[in-house]
Amino acid sequence: MSVLLLSHRACLDHDAGADHPECPDRLRAVLRALEHPDFLPLQRDEAPRATIGHLARVHPPEYVDAILGIRPEPGHRFALDPDTWMSHGSAEAALRAAGAAVRAVDEVATGRMKRAFCATRPPGHHAEPGRPMGFCLFANAAVAARHAQAAHGIARVAVLDFDVHHGNGTQAVFERDPSVLFLSSHQMPCYPGTGAASETGVGNIVNAPLPPGSDGAAFRAAWAERLLPALEAFGPGMIIVSAGFDAHAADPLAQLRVREADFAWLTAEICAAADRLCGGRVVSLLEGGYDLEALAASAAAHVRGLMGL
């Protein structure tokens, strides 16, 4: 099965500070895990830059210009909020992360690749149209979904988010647009405070909040009983995945108890649904995950699932 892996060395140059959990070692750990012989069949390529036009489908042009205009001198950082920082290399990293999402959609939509995984940073699902937050600068999954619609005529796109933190940015982009389905499991209460089951948009938002301490069985039940049936009913032409692995039991930023086997199970379920609904077309983007060992093992389990292993 043809699966594309996109990354770029510039994504290592985004530096939020020595003690910041969203650090370059996260990406290094994932890429090191994907050097295992199991992953030799992956097609590997460098992520291109997103264009202003790609980003402007989601973010106002003045916001895009403002973010790209922040380029601190080497060795210095600029705070956008208490959690979200930019360094000299952050704008380039953010362009590559969004560009990977766009390129992945192109490859999968045209059938050149069956599926794709974008191993990039910074993550994106907390970035709202006009506000960076939660370590995120551009809403990469939303950019991918809008590109699928605008460039490839895919009328209905589903965005599935299993990061432990609710993807408030993705939800904010699409909550009034019935052509995009947003499905999310996440811990609640937890940052950013959104994602209640009562938040339904125009019937296109389905949130499955989980209380702290929920384990893999609860995680699987949320998807099997609530979220995946909604996906089947929607019938998308492409599935975008916000693949955050901070629901893992070892992660320091939240309190769910999910394991690698649970991520592998969900990946298999997503791919099976994609095979039934949209020709197998899945584009997955790295979001959170802050214990390096757990992140690496979980991302590897996810990519094995994308490859059908």
Amino acid letter at 213?
A: G
Backbone region of residue 122 per phi and psi (left: phi > 0; alpha: psi in -120 to 50; beta: other values): beta
CA 86/CA 244 separation, integer angstroms: 21
Question: What's the farthest any 2 CA atoms get from each other in the chain?
Answer: 50
In the chain, the domains with their CATH numbers are 3-307 (3.40.800.20)
Cis previous bond, 122, omega within 30: yes
Per-residue pLDDT of the chain (309 residues; tens, 9 = 90+): 699 999 999 999 999 999 999 999 999 999 999 999 999 999 999 999 999 999 999 999 999 999 999 999 999 999 999 999 999 999 999 999 999 999 999 999 999 999 999 999 999 999 999 999 999 999 999 999 999 999 999 999 999 999 999 999 999 999 999 999 999 999 999 999 999 999 999 999 999 999 999 999 999 999 999 999 999 999 999 999 999 999 999 999 999 999 999 999 999 999 999 999 999 999 999 999 999 999 999 999 999 999 999
Structural tokens at position 94? 């953010």
Q: Is the dihedral of CA 168, 84, 22, 58 positive or negative?
A: positive
CA 201/CA 78 separation, integer angstroms: 34
Using only the alpha carbons of the chain, give its radius of gyration: 17
H helices present in 153-215, as ranges? 168-174
Q: Are 283 and 108 in contact, with CB atoms under 8 Å apart?
A: yes
Active-site residue, 8 included: no
Cis previous bond, 178, omega within 30: no
The model's pTM is: 0.98
59, 88, 126, 186: which is the annotated catalytic residue? 126
